[in-house]
Chain A
Amino acid sequence: MSQSDARIVIVGAGHAGGSAAAFLRQYGWKGPITLVGEEPIAPYQRPPLSKAWLKGEADAASLALRPDSFYPSSDIALRLATSAVGIDREARAVALSSGETLAYDHLILALGSRARKLSLPGLSLAGVLELRTVAEADQLKAALGPGKRLAVIGGGYIGLEAAASARALGAEAVVIERESRVLARVACPELSAFFQDYHRAKGVEIVVGAAIEALEGVDGHVTGVRLSDGRLIGCDAVLVGVGAAANEELARDAGLACNGGIVVDLAARTADPLIHAIGDCTHRPLPLYESMGRLESVPNALEQAKQAAADLCGRAPPTPEVPWFWSDQYDLRLQIAGLPLGAAETVLRGDPAAAQFAIFHLDADERLLAVEAINATPEFMGGRIMIGKRKKIPGKKLRDMSLSMRDLAA
């Protein structure tokens, strides 16, 4: 079979799946490409859903990953509002919710992740929302505005961004976190403290160490969050933002190894040579950290989309990237590079009181592992370079503002 006949089916039309289709065409793939997606609209970017889109500052065209005309003009068949319900690896076919089957020569799984569910009384009340899709973002937006109060369950990035956007829309916001600090799983304590203070100064109430007993409502609509200490936090809407879980079931049911994500190598290959997996749904090698893990970020989705496309097109693999992420809240830009896996020392550079600083994480040998930068692009960019080089650098140099990041990173 020549490549020009080989059929690629991509399941999941999100950031990773849509990008893989685009990269395959950039890299010269000639065969048919079909992109199957559960959502009714073509691939779009999720980061604005909790930021510009929620605040009403972005339009549909800017949200779209590519314009609608891109798919026909690139000969990519889009099957929207359609989900894959099973993979028959022997027959090399995907069963669709429509009852059809789609034969493939290569399959790319780009299934993404979904909002984690809580088990609580009252979750089915109207006004209890999640934030993963544009449809959910629009529901949330409709619930916000002057005189409204949003309760966010979970102090992660998405929850904090939503709280900041709610404030921008004139609504009140309260963030309810089970751990003793917001961003407990994803940021260091100093950064958590900084964000808590900043949100409080912007009028957001932050409740930490809170156990939730139930969501309460009147006439089927949520009116409050009851804590186990008896307190009732009144609200008009609840956003449940307690993390995401990989959509791995389709792969697991087909006998592919999963470990909180579909297990892949650095070419995004699963153990089946005909199946790649990319994006939020994967459990992937983290070569800089000699480890494996799941990353939930756009840069990761793009890196793995390139890995898969390059592998299928017989191209050299893309240069490995340092994992990175950004988040915007109010006038704060947070940029994170690397992962603090095995960190032994944290170093502060800059001034948190001026909302311009970075926190570096070093291992016991003074190797830079990660940097969290607030309104500190040089620290982020310089840190990212040093992490990629696995550079060792003494904490006292990083702390010294008289040394420029450019010189330190050189």
Chain B
Amino acid sequence: MSNMPKVTYIEYNDTAHEVEVPLGLSVMRGAIDNNVPGIDADCGGECACATCHVYIEPEWQDKIGVPEPGSQEASMLSFAAVTQPNSRLSCQLQMREDLDGLVVRMPEGQH
């Protein structure tokens, strides 16, 4: 258990939740499985709802990267009310070893 990667989710009101997310699971699923408020995932990870929107903390931006231009994710995000350059849909981010310690924040209004 102890070497399972961890992700910290920070709610809009600054409450932080550090949880373990198994490799290969999505960052969205990690939040759902631990009932982290702010990620509802209406569509269950099908990239159809944008209710799993997160901001990547700056120090993780390089590792995570931006959505592929023209992808469904990029298209959904370009309309999310509060999109920033570091916005991602967390259902599209698969947990990897080098993401251990990842920190993401939830946007306003998503709670």
Q: Which residues of chain A have a CB within 8 Å of any CB of chain B?
A: 22, 25-27, 45, 47-48, 62, 66-67, 70, 74, 298-299, 302, 319, 326, 328, 333, 335, 377-378, 381-382, 385, 405-406, 409
Q: Mark B30-44, 1 if CB is under 8 A from A, else 0.
A: 001111010010111
Residue of B nearest to A52 (CB): B46
In the complex, are the beta carbons of A22 and B79 less than 8 A apart?
no
In the complex, are the beta carbons of B109 and A319 less than 8 A apart?
yes
Chain A residues whose CB sits within 8 angstroms of the CB of B93 once the complex forms: none
Residue of A nearest to B110 (CB): A319
Chain B residues whose CB sits within 8 angstroms of the CB of A70 once the complex forms: 33-35
19 further A-B pairs in the complex, CB-CB below 8 A; given A62-B44, A66-B33, A326-B48: A22-B35, A26-B37, A48-B44, A62-B29, A62-B45, A70-B34, A298-B44, A299-B49, A302-B42, A326-B43, A328-B46, A333-B48, A377-B79, A378-B75, A378-B78, A381-B50, A381-B79, A382-B79, A385-B81
Main secondary structure of the interface of B (DSSP, over half): loop
Residue of B nearest to A299 (CB): B42
Number of residues from B at the complex interface, CB < 8 A: 23
Chain B residues whose CB sits within 8 angstroms of the CB of A406 once the complex forms: 78-79
User: Smallest distance from the beta carbon of B15 to chain A beta carbons, Å?
Assistant: 11
B23 within 8 A of A: no
Among the interface residues B29, B34, B35, B46, which one has the most CB atoms of the partner chain A within 10 A?
A: B35
Chain A residues whose CB sits within 8 angstroms of the CB of B33 once the complex forms: 66-67, 70
The 4 nearest A-B residue pairs measured at CB:
A381-B79, A377-B75, A26-B37, A326-B48
Q: Mark B45-87, 1 if CB is under 8 A from A, else 0.
A: 1101110000000000000000000001001101111000000
Residue of B nearest to A405 (CB): B79
Residue of A nearest to B11 (CB): A26
Chain B residues whose CB sits within 8 angstroms of the CB of A298 once the complex forms: 42-44
Chain B residues whose CB sits within 8 angstroms of the CB of A381 once the complex forms: 50, 75-76, 78-80
Rounded to whole angstroms, the CA-CA distance of A385 and B29 in the bound complex is 26
Chain B residues whose CB sits within 8 angstroms of the CB of A62 once the complex forms: 29, 44-45
